[in-house]
């Protein structure tokens, strides 16, 4: 099933609008506006942008949680139907999995870690019983948790551990692509470093492809080879990570880079362009 | 502290939590309900009198050795009527709560899962139903069908659905938007599986709380319908009916029947609403 | 005289399993116009420290030690005096500006009424001042902002409105609890610039809580690093970056990925942060400290002041050179795999954010 050298993800002309507000204040927000991108097999593409720029919407369309108004998604060489039937959704899930931002909400608080992972194993690989038990331990081991954690409820785990479980659950489907939507944003620096290392290690070991959504340019530098910068639903800049971070061309990328605190940094006003923030 | 012992304290905590959430008053209320239920179940063991038969010669007897609580206008034993009446009253309310809770949960899950148009449509229908007072709806149903406990119970159950469904819908919707539900959806699991396996257990506390509160209201509403002569028909024993039949006796200076039945209703309803409130912190799926 | 002085502040909160220490003796001081950053991982006690100042700690909490505002102990103030302090001398802004504003009041009502109430100004004067304040926190379209309800404004705008209200009374001390955590980096930069400007203009002192060491470094004169309910190091940003004296500070600095260079592997702090009430004698950081010696488990380090900075580490003198070294990596033989620690049973931090 390898499409060596090819692109695992090919997205072209993606558009998605949402209707917001009600009554006379009703209007449409363009969350994705003609978004095209491709991700090479085994690489990591970072998607950065301010909140509301459409990053999450892009991820949701890609994994099939949301339907685009226009555009095409080709996943592992297969075009993805915009109204997939259940069998199709199931086979897409074996190609692509997602890790969500909020570690707390990504696990059912009444089911154990083991139950969460077993559900995915049973759904995609018909692994049950003692086999599943063994697989759960393997997966937990891969994300640096102990077998004992299998019986824990999410409430008994720290944020970092919950996020590891979410990663283990995604890996259980043995996907080729992992979409990570601000997956480390809610974690403390020390835990964030652990999870970032873990993700890098897993990618190497399993030859996974990542779509890594973040608003943190330092994280972009650490994890990705390529990056796209989004603003108001559009991709405003793209290129290799070092090129975009070292020599940003679009003024918005420059602003993003200059806004990130680092040694010697001073906060500053970007000449009063905040007028657009007032929504009416 | 080893992780091996990990899952257990949580289980223990849940049992402790319940007692803590209920508090002394809530526990007392639970005991009251247990006692009433027990008494209703064991009615034949407690009294040998038939609640439906009495002799006119023995009418309006005062409490005494033979009739512990005295007799009514037809000479029937009041204790027996209260005990057997508890059966009808509890059973009727239980059926209302079960049907209403089941219906409301189903609607809530469907609305939350499909969202958008389905949600909007169900919302409209529920609003429409909600516009009618419960009793009026039940009376209408009786007018269309026939008087009787079964008809009234079903009618009341339908009347109880809209409020519970609306509360449960918002809880289910909140759950629906959480990442774990989307993660399950992502695996290609069907809506029914995700709703029942994931969402339902997480909204169960609200369902139970609503049921407890509704139970009390259902008892009052059923009693009111019996009082109006629309629900339970004589000579069946029923608390609401007893209040109603006692009203003539009341005028003749024999308040016992209405009083006893009234007190029973008030105590049972109060106990159920205390439990409901304690469980849900006053904001769950009950009417009110 | 210092604007604010905390002297051995301890905070215990009763819980089902007995009293829990959340702060284990925090001492710090703030000179007029100075900005002090309070940095640490989630649950380390940053917000709690802040909350002892205006006595907004959770109900039932027992606080000991002294909290001196301009030399007077706030712990002894009566309700009226406390209100006066809150209205005139000390204001607080929090992470979520939406929680600070009444959703049914327009911004104008919120600001003008606040000014009228607090300072007894006339409506006209208050309105003029409110407009002036908004303009000064960088709001371009003052009219539109004044007429808006909170839900019509973005988080960045709202935080500006809250800052405008906070600086309206020209307080001598501003308590800021992660004021930019909910904002985009670009907005964060602007809000911090405004806060910085206001601070310098009014000579206002600031106690600034954040988990972002770099952000704190950029806007604060000194930084206090908190771990498990106590301060482990206080120093200027320059000192901290050039030569951290506490192992925890060193590891915190290293574990943050850099925007300019990619590390082959990020240095990590093994284990998980522990809560103040889990400390059982000895150094609180010992279980995670790569430099821990046998005595670290036994002896409790004191906060030692030296040359304008303070450190709480038994070995900080011996380790000075090693900690100051520029190369991270070398100290962290751990891989992320073995650093997960125990499942955390009682993470109550949600309650605080
Ligand atoms: N209302 C409360 N009840 C009980 N414990 C609390 C409460 N608020 C905070 N705590 C506990 O106090 C300790 C310190 O909390 P604090 O809010 O000061 O942390 P913080 O450093 O501000 O963390 P964060 O970065 O997450 O805001 C934590 O262990 C937390 O669990
Ligand atoms: N389900 C939705 N309904 C209405 N608007 C939405 C919905 N999801 C996203 N949006 C809007 O689409 C835009 C992009 O959102 P999102 O993709 O979540 O941005 P990001 O992840 O970059 O913060 C925003 O303006 C957001 O408000
Ligand atoms: S006292 Fe010991 S354990 Fe604690 S920080 Fe210093 S070296 Fe590490
Ligand atoms: Mg997002
Ligand atoms: Mg805090």
Is the confidence at residue B285, as pLDDT, over 50?
Answer: no
**Cα B19 from chain centroid?**
21
Q: Which pTM was predicted? A: 0.80
Is A24 within a domain?
yes
Which ligand 1 atom minimizes the distance to the CA of C346? 31
pLDDT at B286: 41
Question: In degrees rounded to 5, what are phi and psi of residue B53?
Answer: -115, 145
Domain that holds residue C286: 237-352
At B256, the pLDDT band (50, 70, 90 cuts) reads: confident
**Cα C344 from chain centroid?**
24
Mean per-residue pLDDT for A94-100? 93
Angstrom distance (rounded) from CA B82 to CA B257: 9
Is the confidence at residue B218, as pLDDT, over 70?
Answer: yes
Hey, which residues 177-206 in chain A have their CB within 8 Å of chain C?
Answer: 188-198, 200-201
Contacts 24+ apart (CB under 8 A), A90-94: A90/A123, A90/A124, A90/B187, A90/B188, A91/B188, A92/A63, A92/A64, A92/B188, A93/A123, A93/A124, A93/A173, A93/A175, A93/B186, A93/B187, A93/B188, A94/A124, A94/A173, A94/A174, A94/A175
Domain total of chain C: 1
Give the start-end residues of each E strand in A42-170: 44-49, 70-75, 78-79, 96-99
H/E element, A18: strand A7-20
Is C16 within a domain?
no
Angstrom distance (rounded) from CA C160 to CA C189: 12
Domain that holds residue A18: 7-261
Is the confidence at residue B4, as pLDDT, over 70?
Answer: no
H/E element, A243: helix A241-246
Is C300 within a domain?
yes
Name residue A73's beta-bridge partners. A11
Measure CB to CB from residue A190 to each of C41, C188, C217 and give the nearest one: C41
| Ligand 2 near A49 CB (within 6 A) | yes
DSSP C41-55: STTSSHHHHHHHHTT
Is B11 within a domain?
no
pLDDT at A278: 36
For helices C155-168 and C185-202, give the axis angle rounded to 10 degrees. 10
Our CA-based measurement puts residue B159 at a distance from the nearest CA of chain A, in whole angstroms, of 30
Q: CB C273 to CB A190 under 8 A?
A: yes
- What three-state secondary structure class fits B56? helix
DSSP C221-267: SEEEEEETTEEEEEE-HHHHHH---SHHHHHHHHHSPPSS---SS--
For helices C247-255 and A189-206, give the axis angle rounded to 10 degrees. 50
Is C268 within a domain?
yes
Angstrom distance (rounded) from CA B287 to CA B75: 39
Angstrom distance (rounded) from CA A124 to CA A117: 11
Residues B105-127: pLDDT tens digits?
999 999 999 988 899 999 898 88
Q: Looking at the CA of A60, name the nearest ligand.
A: 2
- What three-state secondary structure class fits C123? helix
Cβ(C32)–Cβ(C3) under 8 Å? yes
Measure CB to CB from residue B186 to each of A98, A151, A152 and give the nearest one: A98
Question: Which of C145, C191, C256 is best to mutate for the A interface (most A CBs within 10 A)?
Answer: C256
Q: What is the CATH number of the domain that holds B221?
A: 1.10.3720.10
Angstrom distance (rounded) from CA C280 to CA C132: 53
- What three-state secondary structure class fits A238? strand
Is C340 within a domain?
yes
pLDDT at C329: 41
Q: What is the CATH number of the domain that holds A247?
A: 3.40.50.300
Q: CB C343 to CB B6 under 8 A?
A: yes
Domain total of chain B: 1
Task: Spell out the per-residue pLDDT of chain C, length 353, in tens.
Answer: 899 999 999 999 987 778 889 999 999 999 999 999 999 988 899 999 999 998 888 888 899 999 999 888 988 888 888 888 888 889 999 888 888 888 888 899 888 888 887 777 788 988 998 998 888 888 878 888 888 888 888 788 888 899 888 888 888 999 999 888 878 888 888 888 888 888 888 889 999 999 899 999 999 999 999 999 999 999 999 999 999 999 999 999 999 898 888 888 899 888 878 888 888 889 999 999 999 999 999 999 999 998 889 999 999 999 988 888 754 444 333 333 333 444 433 333 333 33
Distance (angstroms) between ligand 3 centre and the Cα of C291 equals 6
From residue C46, alpha-carbon distances to B154, B236, C57, C162, C210 in Å are 57, 68, 12, 21, 8
Domain that holds residue B82: 24-43+76-283
Residues B18-32: pLDDT tens digits?
777 788 888 999 999
From residue C257, alpha-carbon distances to A229, C175, C322 in Å are 19, 28, 21
Is A280 within a domain?
no
Angstrom distance (rounded) from CA C249 to CA C258: 16
Is the confidence at residue A180, as pLDDT, over 70?
Answer: yes
pLDDT at A271: 53
Is the confidence at residue B276, as pLDDT, over 80?
Answer: yes
Is the confidence at residue A231, as pLDDT, over 50?
Answer: yes
Residue of C47, C62, C273 to test ligand 1 pocket, by largest number of atoms within 8 Å of CB: C47
| Ligand 2 near A53 CB (within 6 A) | yes
B193 Cβ contact partners less than 8 Å away, ≥ 6 residues apart:
B184
Q: Looking at the CA of A57, name the nearest ligand.
A: 2
pLDDT at C4: 95
Measure CB to CB from residue A270 to each of C139, C190, C273 and give the nearest one: C190
| Strands ordered across the beta sheet of A27-40 | A27-40, A7-20, A70-75, A78-79
Q: CB B9 to CB C345 under 8 A?
A: yes
**Residues whose beta carbon lies within 6 Å of some atom of ligand 3:** C 247, 283, 285-286, 289, 291-293, 296, 301, 313-315
Is A25 within a domain?
yes
Is B2 within a domain?
no
List CB contacts (< 8 A) between C261 and chain A.
221
Query: Number of residue pairs across A and C with CB atoms under 8 Å?
Result: 175
How does strand A7-20 pair with strand A70-75? antiparallel
Residues B57-97: pLDDT tens digits?
777 777 777 777 788 877 788 888 888 888 888 888 999 99
pLDDT at C330: 40
Our CA-based measurement puts residue C325 at a distance from the nearest CA of chain B, in whole angstroms, of 36
Angstrom distance (rounded) from CA C198 to CA C65: 31
Cβ(C153)–Cβ(C107) under 8 Å? yes
Is A279 within a domain?
no
| Ligand 2 near A18 CB (within 6 A) | yes
Is the confidence at residue B187, as pLDDT, over 80?
Answer: yes
The upper half-sphere exposure of residue B227, i.e. CA atoms within 13 Å in the direction of its Cβ, equals 18
Q: Does B9 touch chain C (CB under 8 A)?
A: yes
List CB contacts (< 8 A) between C342 and chain B.
1, 3
List CB contacts (< 8 A) between C343 and chain B.
3, 6
Nearest CA in chain A to B204: A110
Which ligand 3 atom minimizes the distance to the CA of C299? 1
pLDDT at B75: 79
Question: In degrees rounded to 5, what are phi and psi of residue C175?
Answer: -105, 120
For all residues of chain A together, what is the average pLDDT?
88
Is A218 within a domain?
yes
At A203, the pLDDT band (50, 70, 90 cuts) reads: very high
Is C251 within a domain?
yes
pLDDT at C149: 87
At A2, the pLDDT band (50, 70, 90 cuts) reads: very low
Is the confidence at residue A141, as pLDDT, over 70?
Answer: yes
Angstrom distance (rounded) from CA C179 to CA A66: 33
Between A162-176, A195-209, B59-73, the lowest mean confidence (pLDDT) is in B59-73
Distance (angstroms) between ligand 2 centre and the Cα of B174 equals 17
* Percent of chain B whose predicted confidence (pLDDT) is above 90: 26
Measure CB to CB from residue A112 to each of B7, B178, B182 and give the nearest one: B7
pLDDT at B15: 54
Measure CB to CB from residue A105 to each of B179, B190, B198 and give the nearest one: B179
Cβ(A11)–Cβ(A34) under 8 Å? no
Angstrom distance (rounded) from CA C256 to CA C125: 48
Nearest CA in chain A to C248: A190
Domain total of chain A: 1
Our CA-based measurement puts residue B201 at a distance from the nearest CA of chain A, in whole angstroms, of 7
H/E element, C91: strand C90-93
Angstrom distance (rounded) from CA A61 to CA A69: 10
Is B273 within a domain?
yes
H/E element, B143: helix B134-144
Question: Which of A75, A105, A123 is best to mutate for the B interface (most B CBs within 10 A)?
Answer: A105
H/E element, A27: strand A27-40
Q: CB C345 to CB B3 under 8 A?
A: no
Name residue B77's beta-bridge partners. B71
Angstrom distance (rounded) from CA A68 to CA A17: 8
DSSP A142-200: HTT--GGGGG--GGGS-HHHHHHHHHHHHHHT--SEEEEESTTTTS-HHHHHHHHHHHH
Cis ω before C136 (30° cut-off from 0): no
Query: Number of residue pairs across A and B with CB atoms under 8 Å?
Result: 75
């Amino acid at each position: 099933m390898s499409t060596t050298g090819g692109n695992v993800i090919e997205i072209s002309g993606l558009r998605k609008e949402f209707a917001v507000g009600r009554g006379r204040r009703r209007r449409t927000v363009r969350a994705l506006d003609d978004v095209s991108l491709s991700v090479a097999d085994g690489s990591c593409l970072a998607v950065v942008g301010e909140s509301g720029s459409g990053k999450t919407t892009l991820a949701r369309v890609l994994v099939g949680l949301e339907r685009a108004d226009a555009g095409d998604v080709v996943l592992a060489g297969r075009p993805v139907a915009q109204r997939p039937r259940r069998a199709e959704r199931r086979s897409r899930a074996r190609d692509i999995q997602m890790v969500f931002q909020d570690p707390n909400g990504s696990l059912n608080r009444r089911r154990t870690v083991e139950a969460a992972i077993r559900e995915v194993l049973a759904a995609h690989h018909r692994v049950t019983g003692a086999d599943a038990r063994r697989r759960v331990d393997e997966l937990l081991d891969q994300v640096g948790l102990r077998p004992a954690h299998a019986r824990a409820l999410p409430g008994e785990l720290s944020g970092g551990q919950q996020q590891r479980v979410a990663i283990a659950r995604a890996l259980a489907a043995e996907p080729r692509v992992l979409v990570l939507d601000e997956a480390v944003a809610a974690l403390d620096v020390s835990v964030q470093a652990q999870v970032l290392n873990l993700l890098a290690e897993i990618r190497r070991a399993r030859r996974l492809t990542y779509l890594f959504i973040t608003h943190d340019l330092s994280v972009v530098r650490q994890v990705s080879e390529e990056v796209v910068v989004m603003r108001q639903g559009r991709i405003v800049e793209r290129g290799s990570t070092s090129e975009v971070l070292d020599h940003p061309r679009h003024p918005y990328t420059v602003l993003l880079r200059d806004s990130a605190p680092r040694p010697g940094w001073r906060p500053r006003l970007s000449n009063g362009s905040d007028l657009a923030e007032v929504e009416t | 502290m080893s992780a091996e012992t990990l899952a257990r304290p949580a289980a223990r905590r849940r049992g402790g939590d319940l007692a803590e959430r209920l508090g002394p008053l809530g526990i007392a209320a639970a005991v009251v309900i247990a006692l009433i239920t027990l008494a209703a179940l064991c009615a034949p063991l407690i009294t040998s009198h038939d609640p439906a038969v009495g002799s006119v010669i023995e009418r309006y007897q005062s409490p005494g050795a033979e009739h512990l609580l005295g007799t009514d206008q037809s000479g029937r034993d009041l204790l027996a009527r209260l005990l057997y009446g508890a059966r009808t009253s509890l059973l009727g309310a239980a059926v209302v709560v079960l049907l209403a809770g089941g219906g409301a949960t189903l609607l809530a899950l469907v609305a939350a899962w499909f969202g958008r148009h389905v949600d909007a449509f169900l919302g409209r229908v529920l609003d429409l139903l909600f516009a009618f007072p419960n009793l009026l709806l039940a009376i209408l149903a009786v007018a269309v069908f026939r008087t009787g406990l079964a008809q009234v119970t079903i009618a009341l159950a339908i009347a109880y659905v809209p409020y519970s469904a609306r509360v449960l819908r918002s809880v289910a919707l909140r759950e629906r938007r959480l990442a774990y539900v989307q993660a399950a959806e992502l695996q290609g699991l069907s809506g029914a599986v995700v709703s029942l396996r994931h969402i339902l257990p997480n909204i169960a506390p609200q369902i139970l709380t609503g049921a407890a509160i509704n139970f009390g209201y259902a008892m009052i509403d059923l009693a009111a319908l019996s009082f109006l002569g629309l629900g339970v028909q004589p000579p069946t024993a029923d608390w609401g009916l007893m209040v109603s039949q006692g009203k003539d006796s009341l005028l003749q200076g024999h308040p016992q029947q209405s009083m006893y039945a009234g007190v029973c209703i008030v105590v049972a309803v109060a106990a159920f609403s205390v439990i409901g409130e304690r469980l849900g912190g006053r904001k769950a799926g009950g009417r009110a | 005289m210092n604007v604010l002085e905390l002297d051995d502040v301890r905070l215990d909160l009763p819980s089902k399993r007995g009293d829990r220490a959340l702060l284990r003796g925090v001492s710090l001081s703030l000179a007029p116009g100075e900005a002090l950053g309070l940095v640490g991982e989630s649950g380390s006690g940053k917000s709690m420290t802040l909350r002892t100042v205006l006595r907004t700690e959770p109900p039932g909490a027992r606080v000991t030690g002294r909290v001196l505002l301009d030399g007077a102990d706030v712990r002894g103030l009566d309700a009226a005096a406390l209100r006066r302090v809150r209205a005139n001398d000390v204001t607080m802004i929090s992470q979520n500006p939406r929680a600070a504003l009444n959703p049914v009041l327009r911004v104008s009502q919120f600001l003008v009424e606040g000014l009228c109430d607090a300072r007894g100004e006339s409506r006209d004067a208050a309105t003029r001042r409110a407009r002036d304040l908004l303009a000064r926190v960088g709001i371009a379209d003052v009219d539109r902002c004044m007429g808006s309800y909170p839900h019509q404004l973005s988080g960045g705008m709202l935080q500006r409105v809250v800052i405008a209200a906070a600086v309206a009374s020209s307080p001598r001390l501003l308590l800021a609890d992660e004021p930019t955590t909910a904002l985009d980096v670009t907005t964060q930069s602007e809000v911090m610039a405004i806060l910085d400007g206001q601070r310098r203009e009014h000579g206002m002192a600031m106690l600034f809580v954040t988990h972002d060491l770099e952000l704190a470094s950029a806007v604060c004169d000194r930084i206090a690093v908190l771990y498990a309910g106590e301060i482990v190091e206080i120093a200027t940003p320059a000192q901290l970056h050039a030569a951290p004296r506490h192992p925890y500070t060193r590891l915190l600095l290293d574990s943050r990925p850099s925007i300019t260079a990619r590390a082959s592997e990020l240095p990590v702090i093994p284990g998980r942060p522990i809560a103040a009430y889990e400390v059982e004698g000895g150094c609180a950081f010992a279980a995670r400290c790569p430099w821990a010696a046998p005595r670290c488990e036994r002896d409790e380090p004191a906060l030692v002041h030296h040359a304008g900075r303070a450190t709480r580490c038994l070995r900080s003198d011996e380790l000075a050179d090693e900690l100051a070294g520029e190369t991270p990596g070398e100290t962290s033989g751990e891989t992320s795999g073995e650093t997960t620690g125990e499942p955390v049973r009682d993470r109550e931090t949600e309650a605080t954010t």
